């Protein structure tokens, strides 16, 4: 008896419990095709997430130069970076969940994809809403920048960059410095009195701009040395270009996600159905 019991223990079970087999990506079945398409979709959106992060960082880098003038661009670009990061992480969950046929990872992928889709729609709407408000926002913030030009180094750097790049001076004209900044008023008694910043001076190729080229321009009427046009139009154009870029990219990448949401939902449902069928079949065999 003891010998027969030992032999039975050594023998394998008649119907050992089977593990859930994974479907290959390249099999000629509807399930495998769905799996392949979903994997490619997740892989593409991994690259999309990386691209969104890169664009958001690039826009943020340029925005920092004029942030003291108008920081309203911070909201769309920050959302763009966050959404790009979420898309990249979510894409990894989708790729792993698709290959391993893990319902939990697929659920996470589906839910986060829906959230990212809604967030990208919000980014596009916010960007275009701010675009319509730009004229008012620019005029009010630029006036504040002119007043604080000599008091805040960050504002000074931002305004100088804007005036040098777009060959402009002030928000409506060069005279804004005499109107809005106490140190540039003719009655101030400072070296800048009746003048404008050096960044307002016309820069000619091969000619070094002297340090005090903008001094006393209003007093001596030396307007041929400075840019007399204001920067409002140039700043609005710069902001509109970047807001259009942010909004178009966000909305453009949101549209293909509808396909991904439907594909993910269908594949998740099929995985659950297949697991239920396999569990029932496995119990029947044992």
Q: Which range in 19-28, 216-225, 267-276 is most confidently predicted, on average pLDDT?
A: 267-276
Chain segment 127-174, per-residue pLDDT in tens: 777 766 666 666 666 777 888 888 888 788 888 888 888 888 888 888
Rounded CA Rg of the chain: 32
Of 119, 112, 168, the closest CA to residue 142 belongs to 168
pLDDT at site 282:
61
Calculate the alpha carbon distances from 84 to 71, 112, 145 in Å: 21, 12, 32
Chain segment 208-245, per-residue pLDDT in tens: 777 777 777 765 555 677 888 888 777 777 777 777 77
Calculate the alpha carbon distances from 204 to 75, 208, 227, 228 in Å: 37, 8, 12, 15
CA angle, residues 56, 98, 254, in degrees to nearest 5: 35
Q: Tell me if the domain spanning 135-234 has CATH number 3.40.50.1820.
A: no
Domain ranges of the chain: 26-132+250-273, 135-234
pLDDT at site 33:
80
CA distance 78 to 70: 15
What b/e sequence results for 12-45 when a residue is b if at least 16 CB atoms lie within 10 Å of its CB, and e otherwise?
Answer: eeeeeeeeeeebeeeeeeebeebbbbbbebbeeb
pLDDT at site 51:
87
Indicate whether 56 pLDDT > 60: yes
Provide the percentage of residues in the chain whose pLDDT is more than 90. Answer: 0
pLDDT at site 1:
45
| Cβ–Cβ under 8 Å, residues 178 and 218 | yes
Chain segment 75-96, per-residue pLDDT in tens: 677 877 887 887 788 889 988 9
């Amino acid at each position: 008896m003891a010998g027969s019991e030992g032999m039975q223990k050594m023998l394998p079970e008649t119907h050992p419990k089977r593990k859930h087999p994974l479907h290959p990506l390249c099999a000629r079945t509807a399930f495998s095709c769905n799996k392949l398409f979903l994997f490619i979709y997740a892989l593409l959106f991994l690259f999309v997430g990386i691209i969104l992060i890169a664009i958001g960082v690039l826009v943020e880098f340029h925005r920092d130069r004029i942030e003291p003038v108008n920081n309203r661009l911070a909201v769309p670009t920050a959302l763009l970076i966050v959404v790009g990061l979420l898309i990249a992480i979510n894409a990894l969950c989708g790729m792993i969940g698709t290959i391993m046929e893990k319902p939990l990872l697929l659920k996470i992928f589906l839910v986060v994809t829906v959230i990212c889709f809604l967030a990208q729609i919000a980014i596009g709407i916010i960007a275009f809403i701010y675009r319509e408000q730009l004229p008012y926002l620019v005029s009010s913030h630029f006036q504040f920048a002119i007043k604080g030009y000599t008091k805040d180094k960050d504002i000074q750097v931002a305004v100088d960059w804007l005036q040098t790049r777009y060959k402009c001076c002030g928000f409506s004209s060069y005279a804004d410095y005499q109107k809005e900044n106490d140190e540039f008023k003719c009655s101030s008694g400072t070296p800048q009195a009746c003048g404008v910043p050096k960044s307002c001076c016309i820069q000619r190729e091969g000619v070094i701009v002297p340090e005090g080229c903008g001094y006393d321009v209003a007093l001596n009427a030396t307007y041929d040395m400075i840019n007399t046009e204001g920067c409002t139009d140039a700043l609005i154009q710069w902001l509109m270009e970047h807001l259009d870029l942010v909004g178009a990219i966000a909305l453009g990448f949101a549209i293909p996600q509808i396909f991904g949401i439907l594909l993910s939902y269908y594949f998740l449902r099929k995985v659950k159905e297949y697991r239920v069928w396999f569990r029932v079949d496995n119990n029947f065999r044992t």
